[in-house]
Structure 1
Amino acid sequence: MVAEAGVPQLLAVARAGDGDAFGRLVGPLRDELRAYCYRMLGSVHDAEDAVQDTLDRAWRSLDRFEDRGSIRPWLYRIATNRALTIIERRGRRELPTDLSPQGAPLVETAWLGPYPDRLMGWTAQLSPEAEVIARESVELAFVAALQHLSASHRAVLLLRDVLGYPASEVADLLDTTVAGVNSALQRARKVVAELHSEPSQRRTLAALGDAAQQEVARRYLTAWQAGDLETIVAMLTEDARFSMPPLTTWYAGRDQIRGFLVDAVLGYRWRFLPTWANGQLAFGTYMWSDDRAAYVPAGLDVLTLRGRQVAEVVSFLDADFPAFGLPAELTGDDPAR
């Protein structure tokens, strides 16, 4: 929870027209609002737009805010309404990867975007238990599962189970009843539980420990950079999946993935830089370009681990590398020489 010491004073000054005071009032909540909107919308870009619109609307209507000791619920009400409006306007969107136990895509296209771990600095202000829930709730599989819920059910699940609002407050935020909130929550939990079958990556990584994580990362990037197809395939689980948003092509199982990787691994020269996205191990992947005489971005690979093996790779082909602390390109000598 964000500390709100001095809020009454800041609120009074902000209501008098002081933009700096308003910025100090809402600034500590911006990161968590962005994470909430990302879970609702599945896109960092859309989440940024929703948060900016939320703060703009809050500033313009600050005189109508009923001060009940915290501005946080009011901002979440506005953010929820903005997210619901965005979802309604864009219509049904589709998922990047398969979440079904049988291994068949639920919808045959991809759109979910990755979330930079650097934007999760707000979790340091939470209790250890709340931080675990917050980080697990931005994992790719969970966020993808949320997109199968109606917009209002997403909001109920996030506000109740992730953010910890009581049913009465959620009912107030969504202009519904407590009974309606409880019913929606039960249905939302059931759908997400059926779709989100992979173990939490945060708990998987914690069980592995730092040394084992580093070893997995080292083996994976070394194999790609060396063109060692056999090691890459050996690191996959038998039921591993590989997808490349925004392409609709996907592969399931070692044999299919091997068939795809023969050309991808052996036909190009690669450099990998480790990073983190959605609380998961990730790599900025760079392919050698003769035209630019440099390694250029090819995709942000986000890995789902099961023990020391890779259960899923989602390679976001249009990821914004600098947002993940990755350089726009890697210069160096022609690797063929």
Structure 2
Amino acid sequence: MTAPDALHPRGPASDAAFADLVRPFERELRAHCYRMLGSLHDAEDALQETLISAWRALPQFEGRSSLRTWLYRIATSRCLNAIRDGARRPPPSPVAPFEAPAPNGDERVTWCDPYPEAAVDPGTAAAERETLEYAFVCALQALPPRQTAALVLCDVLDFSPRECAEIIGSSPTAVKGLLQRARAAMPARGERAPEVAETELAGRLAAAYGADDVDAVIALLSDRAWLAMPPAPHRYEGVAAVAEFLRASAEGRGGRYAVSAAGRAGGHPVFRCVLDGRDRGLLMVIADPSGTAVQGIVRFLR
């Protein structure tokens, strides 16, 4: 690997050397920014700002910490600044083109979008891949920003409290306090449905959803099913509430969605929804642990 000292002079050669130096870290830094911010767009912006800042600051890098730790310090700082500047504020809620029934629940986190499976390192361990699941990232967004940073750095990326303190500009004692509070606030992870079963079930629901066959959709739901529609803050909980909304949507939309499989994102099957030739966002289907019934429907509106 090229030594940082060799990159201090500016020019095409040093540009290429810098790119070679940071390229092995780009994928994991992008995932880190996503966990911090919950938004693919904001994560990409934070990554690009990180790389630009690293390039500008490279002459000051003295190698007292590893290059990886140094890059994470820059990336985490950019993410914390973005949160402070409003990156995690709820975006405007879209107005439904029909008379929607009143929701019986609400979503505190409405800016999350699902991380595409294609962007995940195929060699990443399953435990790390779980930390890009939609529910986990949404739970991170509900934490205070520095707690999010400490939890991600220590529990996801295996930095020590001392290293985490260096990255976020704190002390190991303070980091331990942040970790304790963050861990206590995070919900317990539930069991996951087998991937094959979930994919098959999701395909059946997507077909019924695209055909406005509400009865067929309802037949696939578990008793505790729910439906959310980020960035709208509404949540419909229970089969009756979900059915009421879907019927109102089907009657008021004025056309059927063309629904096509779009792989996996956020740890679950997703489908592209197109209406009148326009991309209307994604449909995510979450199965219950048995893989025999749909537990959650997340309709990412566009």
* TM-score computed with the length of structure 1 as normaliser: 0.77
1:176 matched to 2:170? The reply is: yes
Shift, 1:110, TM fit: 2.3
Give the partner amino acid of 2:267.
G
Alignment correspondent of 1:75: 71
1:236-286 Cα deviation digits (max 9, x unpaired): 121211121222332111101111111434653232212211121111112
What amino acid is aligned across from residue 299 of structure 1 in structure 2?
G
Matched, 1:269 2:256: yes
Give identity over the alignment, percent: 37
Alpha-carbon spacing, 1:225–1:84, altered in 2? closer, same or farther (3 Å): closer
SS at match of 1:302: strand
- Give me the CA root mean square deviation: 2.3
Q: How does 1:182-221 map to 2 (within 5 A)?
A: 182-193=176-187, 197=188, 199=190, 204-205=192-193, 208-210=194-196, 212-221=197-206
Match of 2:267 among 279, 282, 286: 279
SS in 1 for 2:106: coil
Query: 2:37 pairs with 25, 30, 41, which one?
Result: 41
CA contact (8 A) 1:14 1:20 kept: no
Once the two structures are TM-superposed, the CA of residue 12 in structure 1 deviates from its matched residue by 4.1
Counterpart for residue 139 of structure 1: 133
DSSP 3-state at the match of 1:238? strand
Amino acid at match of 2:287: L
Q: Give the counterpart letter for 1:16 in structure 2.
A: P
Q: Give the length in aligned residue pairs.
A: 283
Aligned twin of 1:150 = 144
How far, CA to CA, are the matches of 1:82 and 1:272 in structure 2? 37
**Aligned-pair distance for 1:70?**
3.2
CA gap 1:94/1:199 in 2 versus in 1, 3 angstroms: farther
Q: Report the Cα distance in structure 1 between the residues aligned to 2:211 and 2:21, rounded to whole angstroms.
A: 51
Gaps of 5+ in 1: 1-5, 97-102, 290-294, 319-337
Residue 105 of structure 1, CA deviation: 2.9
Once residues 26 and 52 of structure 2 are traced to their aligned partners in structure 1, the CA distance between those partners, rounded to angstroms, is 12
Instruction: Describe how 1:250-269 pairs up with structure 2 within 5 A.
Output: 250-265=235-250, 268-269=255-256
The question of whether the paired residues in 2 share the 8 Å contact of 1:141 and 1:198 is answered with no
Q: Kindly provide the CA deviation profile for residues 140-191 of structure 1, in whole angstroms up to 9, marking residues without a partner as x.
A: 1111111121111100000000000011111111222211111110110111
Q: Which amino acid aligns with 1:163?
A: L
Q: Which residue identity lines up with residue 269 of structure 1 in the other structure? A: R
Structure 2 letter corresponding to 1:199 = G
User: Which secondary structure does the structure 2 equivalent of 1:298 belong to?
Assistant: strand
Quick one: which amino acid aligns to residue 296 of structure 1? R
- In structure 1, the residue corresponding to 2:132 is in which secondary structure? coil
Equivalents in 1 of 2:88, 2:259: separation in Å? Answer: 34
Structure with bigger RCO (C-alpha 8 Å, 6+ apart): 2
Give the AA of the match of 2:78: R
